[in-house]
């Protein structure tokens, strides 16, 4: 069944998520209408579209909805659910801030678990890296090199192995490079 209308595509989401999206944006973009059903079905998805077409939210919203539902039900575990690979460490903070809007907007009920977002780059202090191993964020924003380093340690592997999905941003900037080859090997692990 092909979903093409915003009202229909929003049925994929829980009421709090669909309501927040409709109130905040009104309607989904074409990119979102096409990506969300495939992502929700667990299919591998490649989204390629111009800036400003809703790519970031098309990648994240299904997972934010799932995590928010788990949090509302008190079933959100202290583990990593989603890895977001950013080729530029300078974008990591921007991505975290962009995630705050839907995470805060979808609404935390009183007493509901908070969905945590962590950043791991070459600039992340050792103390913070150790904390992430003991208390993993639910969503981890990471550079390709830091992902590789996590996969080379037992403690890092124990965190990464619980992830249910990986989002790779700016894949076109990596694909034909040594960094891209290393990233593909890391994701395959």
**Alpha carbon distance 102, 58 (integer Å):** 12
DSSP three-state, residue 85: strand
**For strand 117-120 and strand 82-85, is the pairing parallel, antiparallel, or unpaired?**
unpaired
pTM of the model: 0.88
The torsion region of residue 48 among left (phi > 0), alpha (psi -120 to 50) and beta comes to: beta
Q: What is the pLDDT of residue 48?
A: 84
Place of tokens 């700016």: 170
Q: Return the CA Rg of the chain.
A: 16
**Alpha carbon distance 157, 186 (integer Å):** 11
Q: What is the CATH number of domain 6-188?
A: 3.40.50.300
Q: Domain boundaries in the chain?
A: 6-188
Chunked into runs of 10 residues, the chain (189 residues) has average pLDDT values of 63 94 92 95 88 87 95 94 89 88 78 87 92 96 91 93 89 69 68
- pLDDT, one tens digit per residue, over 42-70 is 998 988 888 888 888 999 999 999 999 99
Q: How far is CA 18 from the centre of its chain?
A: 18
């Amino acid at each position: 069944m092909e979903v093409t209308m915003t009202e229909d595509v929003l049925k994929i989401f829980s009421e709090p998520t669909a309501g927040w999206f409709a109130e905040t944006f009104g309607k989904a973009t074409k990119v979102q209408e096409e990506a969300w059903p495939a992502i929700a079905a667990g299919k591998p998805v490649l989204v390629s579209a111009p800036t400003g077409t809703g790519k970031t939210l098309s990648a994240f919203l299904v997972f934010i909805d799932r995590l928010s539902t788990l949090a509302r039900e008190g079933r959100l575990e202290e583990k990593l659910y989603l890895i977001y690979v950013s080729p530029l460490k300078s974008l990591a903070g921007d991505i975290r801030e962009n995630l705050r809007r839907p995470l805060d907007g979808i609404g935390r009920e009183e007493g509901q678990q908070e969905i945590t977002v962590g950043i791991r780059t070459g600039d992340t202090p050792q103390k913070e890296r150790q904390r992430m191993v003991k208390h993993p964020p639910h969503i981890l924003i990471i550079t390709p090199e830091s992902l590789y380093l996590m996969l080379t340690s037992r403690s890092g592997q124990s965190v990464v192995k619980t992830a249910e999905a990986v989002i790779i941003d700016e894949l076109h900037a990596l694909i034909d490079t040594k960094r891209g080859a290393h990233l593909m090997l890391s994701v395959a692990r």
